[in-house]
Amino acid sequence: MSQVYRLHSTLELPLETVYDHFESDPDLPDGIDSVDITRRNNTLIISAVSTDESISKYTPTAQLKASVSETRVFTEEEEARRNAPRWGTPEEEEEEEPTGELIEMAAFKGDRETVLQNTAVQYPMFEVLCTIARKAEKGTLTAISEVGGELEATRIVDGDDRPASIEVVEGPRKENSSSSGVNWRDNKFIS
């Protein structure tokens, strides 16, 4: 059974791109029959529908969670005009209509519990997140997962897979931590 141990995401992409991806009938990983997409105010929830019929309909399956916000996107020409020096009076500048197109962005930002929730079919849903990450022009997805008994590192930056490795380092030892500190209770210099 594959599992995701650590995950951190800063992915951001147009909401329309997310919807288009799922409307194009993508190949979903084994274990996922389809996905349900729900939007509650400024939150987008993509829930897995499992192919495993032994999973109760009351068991929460894995879901991806993104916050939705509006942002203004400018063409290169509009950006140059916005950054050019202005010589008009403040009244003339206030009357100028904002340029650019207002679009909704889906931000899959945070650690595993924030972005990838619930454990039933969690790894296949992680694979769906990786597919979405490859469509994002902005942001990073890093993860440590276990596949077939082996640890695997994943790193996707601005839509491209990048090399990733796992480094195991020795942390502080529990047995030495209590004896290496100062015992403040029996300190003769403190009364």
| pLDDT tops 60 at residue 8 | yes
Under a CB-based contact definition with an 8 Å cutoff, are residues 33 and 125 in contact? no
Residue 118's pLDDT is 92
Determine what percent of the chain is predicted with pLDDT higher than 90.
58
For residue 90, the tally of other CB atoms under 10 A from its CB is 7
Question: What pLDDT shows up at residue 170?
Answer: 78
Higher pLDDT, 187 or 163: 163
Number of other CB atoms surrounding residue 171 within 10 Å: 6
Contacts of 116 (CB under 8 A, 6+ apart): 4, 7, 62, 63, 64, 65, 122, 125, 126, 129
CA distance 60 to 120: 7
Per-residue pLDDT at 175 exceeds 60: no
Q: Whole-model pTM?
A: 0.77
- Residue 55 — pLDDT band, cuts 50, 70, 90? confident
Name the more confident of 16 and 112.
16
Residue 127: pLDDT above 90? yes
**pLDDT over 70 (residue 173):** no
| pLDDT of amino acid 187 | 64
131 or 73, which is more confident: 131
Q: So what's the pLDDT on residue 92?
A: 53
